Structure 1
Amino acid sequence: MKRGKKMFLIIAVVLGVFALITWGVVAYLGRSQTLSVKSIENSSEDLYLLHLEKPDNMTWEAGSYAQFALPDVKDSKQNSRFLTIASTPDENEILILTHNSGSLYKETLTSLSAGSKVEMSWLGSHLSIADNKEPLVCFASDVGIAAIRPVIKEWTGKLPIVLNHLDKGVTVFDQEMAELAKQEVDFTYETSDSLVQSQETLKNAINQYGNKATYLLAGQPDDVEAMKTFLKDKGIDSQKIKSDSFRGLP
């Protein structure tokens, strides 16, 4: 066989294997599972906490998000959104914390009755944690606490953790985090009323850990970007920062 033909076959095989792997990853992440609504809490004003049944064979990384579709909504632009999973894989339910913006999707989602069905697919995460024993310095704004809560639940007691929540009235998990901070010496939890106050809290963590920690940011885009800029200005390497922002899609 001539060298050119041999090289062509090698390239063709490599591309074929790559395509097969890519198809497998897409099929895995995009696969849909039907979940039943257990209950929905109207925590305050437009804030809702959804309790969904968790399939026995389902798992995910702490801090993951997924696409949740409403089969009964026929408008393709209004029947699905990406939402954060606020529970850990070890808990016996899937929790979703969200604001009701008044859109068709959010109005339908937050008014579902027990036993209603939603379709979940495209599971992913921007907040994966390496098991390298590095401290975690976390910032959440508003419902961004939904992404940070499972990370705290999974890693508290294993790593030093600092969490600041610019809550903006979102206090659903406040008592739980405060109790956990009382139990665990290496977990520090504070809430704040302003971004400046949150930055002061993180400045203390930066002085203590510097680039020997992993920094997790989750919440409204303006807050996340401002905190990311603050960390970089304080000398934190961008590779040490992981973020997930919620644009409040209606």
Structure 2
Amino acid sequence: MDPVIRLSKVTVRYRNNGRGFLTAVAGVDLSVMPEEFVSIVGKSGCGKTTLLKVIAGLIRPDEGEVFLNGHAFNGSKKKIGVMFQSPLLLPWRTILKNILLPIEILGENPEDYVERALMLIERTGLKGFENSYPWELSGGMQQRAALCRALIHKPLLLLLDEPFSSLDAITREEMWILLESVFLYEKYTTVLVTHDIREAVLLSDRVIVMSGKPGKIKAEVKIPFSRPRSLDLQYTKEFNEYVAEIKNMLGE
């Protein structure tokens, strides 16, 4: 079985304020298999988000190759769903119309996706708010809408760039369980970038640990817990052993 996404010897450099080039990530090899949930953790500046942008096709590597389903990836927006740190909902559009926005961008008929949008709205606990505007919803509810928007076109790959970092602790945990339930129902392949080690361990099949300057993959940790997972998993000895192991790797 081919990986959904495969990075081979990927290196990315940025111009450093006229002082030459700064290598953000160097020689990264990474594969993500179908229906796998992989998290990338590391300290600030280690290249996590740069790597996610490469996977999304938003930037091209200076060296190395990116493959999607075994073929060279051309950055097709139709195959990727992305959820950012902020919901980025358009304030003049209703929640339903925000969710359908990617369909318009892809040049397809939004009416063909209304049924799917309403299904996602119900599954994420937004039923009754489809005709509301973003400013009428809490931050957590806005991120639920952003998740629906990322999934509306049935992408091969869902990319999450610290989507819950701005939420309060209780809402963040609610979003973890929501994401877990949608992950099990939709069976999508997912890559999450996060600073939160507990979030990574709770949600992931594998956690990729990055070192920085330049960003490289330092280690990977397989998380063996069966699904579905609940918040109670956080209070087990085994869970906290994985959290401690990854935290120690980041501190080395």
TM over 0.5: no
The structure, 1 or 2, with the larger RCO (C-alpha pairs under 8 Å, 6+ apart) is 2
Larger strand percent: 1
Give the TM-score normalised by the residue count of structure 2.
0.28
